[in-house]
Amino acid sequence: MKEENTKDNVRELILKTALEQFTKHGIKKVKMDDIASTLSISKRTIYEQFCDKEQLLFEALKLHNEIIHNEGKQIVRNASHTLEIILKLYDKYVDIISSINKEFFTDLKKYPEICKRKRHNEEQNDKRFLAWIEEGRKQGWFREDANLEIFSYILRQNLETIFTAKMDSDKNSLSKFPPRELGRTLIIFYLRGISTPKGEEIIEAYLKENNKINTSYNYES
């Protein structure tokens, strides 16, 4: 039993380290030797747990999705109303995706089966978001004439462009703005567009309380 617990601990450490390395540097740049060196273990120890880099990546992303799911449940438990849940879930999404190296998303395309699983997870997350937005409409936060499914789809497509695409470095392009701020601004822009006056009041109060939209950046630097 003690040996099994030790193996489980080693496996979890490998997964967490791999996830951190992949998202920070991109998948291609991270070698098994790098992960082993970071943990001060042999590469053989990693291969005793995972047959190859693809399996390690798959399991690391599975862990990542579980972490996100648990954090989402925590947000739901602690929120006082549906619109707060929506705002905080979107905030969490922006925080997570903006911390990932864009090369990670480019490298991920080389693993079609993992991409397929990732799309499935995204579809499930979209359904959860949409369910909360639909609930918000029932409670009077969002307009009755708004097509919420189209809203959810367009918003995610725009967010993916901001956080995964390589933008032009020209001074007049969006690349001069911090990605996290771009994402949050886009979310608020779309939410305001489908909100009732009652919903807009809640959004403004949330922004003021959490100081989410910061315009003090020196974009000329």
Dump pLDDT digits (tens) for 152-206: 888 888 888 888 876 555 555 566 778 888 889 999 999 999 999 999 999 999 9
pLDDT digits (tens, 9 = 90+) for 82-125: 999 999 999 999 999 989 999 999 999 999 999 999 889 888 88
Mean pLDDT of the chain: 86
For 92-130, give one letter per residue: b (16+ CB within 10 A) or e.
ebbeebbebeebbbebbeebeebeeebeeeeeebeeebe
Q: What are residue 121's phi and psi, to 5 degrees?
A: -60, -40
Give the structural domain span for 172.
79-210
What confidence category does residue 135 fall into, taking pLDDT thresholds of 50, 70 and 90?
Answer: very high
CATH number of the structural domain spanning residue 112: 1.10.357
Name the percent of the chain lying above pLDDT 90.
62
Residues 6+ apart with CB under 8 A from 197: none
| Nearest CA-CA partner of 213 in 94, 108, 76 | 94
Q: What is the number of structural domains in the chain?
A: 1
Q: Is residue 193 part of a domain?
A: yes
Q: Is residue 153 part of a domain?
A: yes
In contact, 145 and 59? CB cutoff 8 Å:
no
Q: Is residue 122 part of a domain?
A: yes
Residues 6+ apart with CB under 8 A from 28: 103, 107, 110
Q: Is residue 184 part of a domain?
A: yes
Q: Is residue 166 part of a domain?
A: yes
What confidence category does residue 219 fall into, taking pLDDT thresholds of 50, 70 and 90?
Answer: very low
Count of beta carbons in the 10 Å neighbourhood of residue 177: 15
pLDDT digits (tens, 9 = 90+) for 26-58: 999 999 999 999 999 999 999 999 999 999 999
Q: Is residue 129 part of a domain?
A: yes
Q: CA-based angle 177:185:150, to the nearest 5?
A: 125
Q: Is residue 171 part of a domain?
A: yes
Residues 6+ apart with CB under 8 A from 54: 111, 114
β-strand partners of 73: none
In contact, 141 and 195? CB cutoff 8 Å:
yes
Q: Is residue 205 part of a domain?
A: yes
What confidence score (pLDDT) does residue 170 get?
A: 54
What confidence category does residue 216 fall into, taking pLDDT thresholds of 50, 70 and 90?
Answer: very low
As a whole number of angstroms, the distance between CA 108 and CA 28 comes to 9
Q: What's this model's pTM, rounded to 2 decimal places? A: 0.82
